[in-house]
Chain A
C-alpha cells in the first residue's frame, strides 16, 4: 500500500501533465495566428517547415506519453498482453519515426542556446537507444531488460511534464529565464535517467546507501571495541 500510493500519484501526475501539455499545444494548430512559442523564435530561416515539424512533434508527444503510461501499467500487461504488444508497436513506431527525429530538428532552435540544444539531443538520444534496444529485448523475451529500457523511454518522455513543472515553480524566483529554462531541462533529464537506473538496474544501486550504512556501523563497532580493549 505504502509503495503503491507514490506510484499511483506519479502516474496521475504524468497523465494530468500530458493532458495539460496537449491542451496548451492546441494553439499551434491555429492557422491564423502565431503562438508565443513561435513568435519568440522569429525570424526563423524556414518558418513553415519549423511549424510543420512542431505540429508533428506535438501530435506524436500527445500520443507517445499516454501510450507509455498505458504500456507500463501492470494490470494491462497482466490482463491484456496482446494489447500491450500492439500498443508497444504503435508507440515504438511513433517515437522512432516521428517524435525523436522532429525533436532533434526542433532542438536546434531551442531557447537557452547550446545548453538547451544539447539537453534535448541527449534526452532524444536516450529515448532512441532505449526504445530500439527495448524492442530487441522484448523480441528476445528478455523481459527484465525490456522493462528497464521501457522505463528509460517513459522517464525521458516525462521530462516534458517535470521540466514544465520546474519552469512554473521557478517563474517567480527572478532567475534569468534562459538559465532557468536550461536548468529545468538538464535536472529532469539527468535526474530521471539516474532514478530509473537506481530503481531498475540489475546491479542493485539502490542498496548502495544501505551497504555504506552497514559498513559504517561495522567500522564504528570495531573502533568502539578497540577503545574498550585499550582501556
Chain B
C-alpha cells in the first residue's frame, strides 16, 4: 500500500514537472515563433500552394512564386483591445531559380497576424484583416477592427 502511494506521488510529480516545463517553453520567443509559423504554414501557405498548382498559367494574374518563406515579426506577443495575444507575420516570395541571396526575395507580399492561443490566422488587405481563405478565393467579410491591433 505504501509502495503504491509512493509510486502515485512520484508519477504526479513527474506529470506536474512536465506540464510546467511545456508551459514555460510555450512562453519563450523561439517556441512562440515556431508555433506561429506552423499555424501560418497550415492555414495560409498550404492552401495557397494547392491553389497555385491548379491555376491557369495563360493569365494576366501574377505568376505563382517559386517559393515562399514566413517571418515572425514580433519576438514577444502583443495584446489586442479584447486582451487576446497575437504576433505579426510577413510572407516573402521568390521568383525564378532558387537562390540563397537575400535580394532574391520580394518582401512582405502578404502580411498579417497569428493568435497563438486559438491558432487563428488573419491576413491584411488594405487597412482591414481577413480570414486567409480570402486569398484562395473565398468571399469573406473583414474581421472586427480591433484584431491584430495592439492596445
A, B: real partners: yes
Interface residues of A (CB under 8 A from B): 17, 20-21, 23-24, 27, 32-37, 39-40, 42-43, 111, 164, 167-168, 171-177, 181
Contacts of A175 in B (CB 8 A): 95-96
The chain B residues found within 8 Å of chain A, CB to CB, are 51, 55-63, 95-97, 99, 104, 106, 125-126, 128, 134-135, 137-139
A176 touches B60 (CB 8 A): no
Q: Across the A-B interface, how many residue pairs have beta carbons closer than 8 Å?
A: 68
The A interface is mostly helix, strand or loop, or mixed, namely helix
Q: How far does the Cβ of A115 sit from chain B's closest Cβ, in whole Å? A: 14
Given A33-B139, A173-B96, A175-B96, are A167 and B126 also a contact pair (CB < 8 Å)? no
Query: Do A164 and B126 touch across chains, with their CB atoms under 8 A apart?
Result: no
Contacts of A176 in B (CB 8 A): 95, 106
**A111-B57 Cα distance, complex, nearest whole Å:** 16
> Which residues of B lie under 8 Å from residue A32 when comparing CB positions?
139
Q: Note all chain B residues with C-beta closer than 8 A to A33.
A: 137-139
Contacts of A177 in B (CB 8 A): 62-63, 95, 106
Between-chain CB contacts (< 8 Å), 15 pairs: A24-B56, A27-B56, A32-B139, A33-B137, A34-B134, A35-B61, A37-B61, A40-B61, A42-B134, A174-B99, A175-B95, A175-B96, A177-B95, A177-B106, A181-B62
